[in-house]
Each structure stands twice: as C-alpha cells, then as structure tokens.
Amino acid sequence: MIRIALISLALASPAGAFELGFPLDCDLGQTCYIQQYSDHDPGPAAQDFTCGSLTYDGHDGTDFALPTRTAMEQGVAVLAAQAGRVTSLRDGVPDFAPVLAGKECGNGVVLDHGDGWETQYCHLKQGSVAVSLGQSLPEGAILGQVGQSGLAEFPHLHLSLRHKGETIDPFAPTAAALCGMPGDDLWQHPLPYSPGGLLGIGLAPEVPDYTAIKSGLPSPDLPATAPALVIWSYFYGTRAGDALLFEIAGPDGYVIRERTVLEKPQALGFRAVGKRLKSTSWPEGRYSGTARLLRGATELGQQSIQISLTR
C-alpha cells in the first residue's frame, strides 16, 4: 500500500459515534486472519496498536488475509463495513501482476459514510467488483471478492478508515487505546488480537515448494515406500526466538519429535523437518503430524493432520 502517516492519536471520537461491521464473509481465526495492523510508530520503526510487531513502517490500514490462494480462488466476499455511497472504484487490474504506478490499491472501492467518514477497500479480485459509482449501499452489501491485485504479496483485503481526510486505526482511534490500555475501538463487535499463528500443516515425501504451500498444498495418502516423511508448517507474525515443535507419530510410535527455533521475524514463512526412509518401507497404517508455535511459554497455535501409508 501507499504509505499514509497514521494520525489517529489526534482524534477524539466518542464510542458509538461511528462503528464498523466485519468486512469479510469469513470466520476470523479459522478461514481468515489479520496479517497486519496500522503502524503507530511516528519514526522509521513500526508497531501496531498493542505495541506489537504485526505491522510495517507506514502501513495505513488493516490487512484481513486468506491463508491460501486456493481460498481466494474459491471466492470470499468483501462487505461494506458501514452503509455508504460509492465514490470511487476500479476493476480490471490483474491479480499477481506487476504493480503499475498509481494502482497500488489494485482493484478497489471507496465508500462515503457521511460526516466525514470514509472507508477504502483494496486488492479485490480482478472482475469481482459488484457495485457502481454513486450507488448507495447498506451495511454488509457485497463489494467484490478478496484478491491479490496491486501492491499485495498475499491474498487479502486492505481496509483503510479515514475521518475528514485523516487516517484512523479502528482498533485504537484514541491514545488511550494504545499498547493494550483500556480504550474505545470502532468495531461493532470486538475483534480478537492474535500476535501470530499457524496457517497450514502438511505431510509430504519431500520438503515442499513454498509457492505450493502458499497456494494451498494438499496432503494426500502416501505409499509406504515414500523416500522420506516430512512435516511442514506455514505461519505468520513470528519473532526471533519463537519455536516450532514438530511431531510425526505412526503405528510403531514417534517418527519425529523435533524443536526448531526461528532466528528472525517473519510476516509469513514456513519450516519443514523430516526423516529419510532407511529400510524397504515404512510401517503401514495411519500417521499423524502435529505442529505447535510457541512464544516463550505461550502457545500461539497448534495444528494436526493425518494420512495413511499403504503399499
């Protein structure tokens, strides 16, 4: 996204003056997640409204993301977060294409809600925009679908909120709400904050390609003669020092129990560990894989999967 300095600290908006509904037709924490929040640091560093690291320098909105491109291709509707009138829109920008100057938002819609309030919805899927210029819409109306058009490295909706031209973080519209201190937000229903988590898990006969993982790599059953058993995990929002605990268990007990410490922060990433076949075949039967993401003693996420190995 184009960087716009966040100046929400100057706003003194009373609770209930303007509120937003959830802007996607998805289950937050299950089929979608928040990848990045607005940047509240005035300098070259970056911090989100909790003083956490789920943002980057100059980020001016909230990124509601899908875990895979497969989810994007299946279609997830973008919804009007409040009733309003369409004042700007664009469609026709290809997904996954190089960014053209002036089209960093990709395909998008801008709604005017009155009293100086405005929302902008960016990176919609090409050909999905379902509204017309000047159209008045109720809250929850379908604007289009989540895509990856414009300046976007993963499928997501970038939602920006502005009041009288000033960018506002709906999670922390006043200084009192910063760094976890009590304060009003602008959501109709509170949205939970997750400082990082797991997006996918799989079992494979080799270390998979990262592009395939981001696309939604499946984990089919494998032959008992598979050259290796590899467990992989796809994650977001990790920090240096976070740990991944991997386990693969089969009919004869544990195949792998391994701890991997992450050496640097990553907005998105994956890790894989495995064991090579050292005999003619693996024992036939059901195999389960589990990944846990830990930050100190706190578990940020856990996922499991099961497949069969047969002759």
pLDDT values of the chain reduced to their tens digit, one per residue, 311 residues? 333 333 333 343 444 479 999 999 999 999 999 999 999 998 999 999 999 999 999 999 999 999 999 999 999 999 999 999 999 999 999 999 999 899 999 999 999 999 999 999 999 999 999 999 999 999 999 999 999 999 999 999 999 999 999 999 999 998 666 676 667 899 999 999 999 999 999 999 999 999 999 999 999 999 999 999 999 999 999 999 999 999 999 999 999 999 999 999 999 999 999 999 999 999 999 999 999 999 999 999 999 999 999 98
Closest CA to 288 of 246, 237, 258, 259: 246
Both structure tokens of 260: 């991997």
What's residue 290's pLDDT? 98
DSSP 217-253: -----EETT-SEEEEEEEEEEE-TT-EEEEEEEETTE
What's residue 82's pLDDT? 98
HSE, CB side, 13 Å, CA atoms: give it for residue 309.
23
DSSP 8-class letter at 213: H
The amino acid present at 156, given as its one-letter code, is H
Please state, in angstroms and as integers, the Cα–Cα distance from residue 257 to each residue in 206, 230, 273, 290, following that order: 17, 12, 10, 10
What's residue 168's pLDDT? 95
Categorise residue 73: left if φ over 0, alpha if ψ from -120 to 50, beta otherwise.
alpha
Which sequence spans correspond to the domains of the chain? 8-180, 197-310
DSSP 8-class letter at 176: G
What's residue 2's pLDDT? 34
Q: Which helix (H) or strand (E) is 27 found in, with range?
A: none
What's residue 14's pLDDT? 42
What's residue 13's pLDDT? 43
Query: Long-range contacts of range 45-49, CB-CB < 8 Å, 24 or more positions apart?
Result: 48/171, 49/169, 49/171, 49/172, 49/177, 49/178, 49/179
What's residue 17's pLDDT? 74
What's residue 3's pLDDT? 34
Both structure tokens of 246: 């991997």
Distance between CA atoms of 78 and 128, rounded to whole angstroms?
Answer: 10
Residue 130 near residue 75, CB atoms below 8 Å = no
CATH classification code of 8-180? 2.70.70.10
HEC string for 158-169:
EEEEEECCEEEC
Distance between CA atoms of 111 and 142, rounded to whole angstroms?
Answer: 12
Distance between CA atoms of 154 and 268, rounded to whole angstroms?
Answer: 9
Residue 214 near residue 256, CB atoms below 8 Å = no
What's residue 100's pLDDT? 87
Residue 71: strand, helix, or coil: helix
C-beta atoms surrounding 139 within 10 Å: 15
Q: Which fold has domain 197-310?
A: Immunoglobulin-like (2.60.40)
Beta-sheet strands, E only, within the chain: 33-36, 62-65, 77-79, 84-90, 107-114, 117-124, 136-137, 142-145, 156-163, 166-168, 197-204, 222-223, 228-238, 243-250, 253-261, 266-276, 285-295, 298-310
What's residue 248's pLDDT? 98
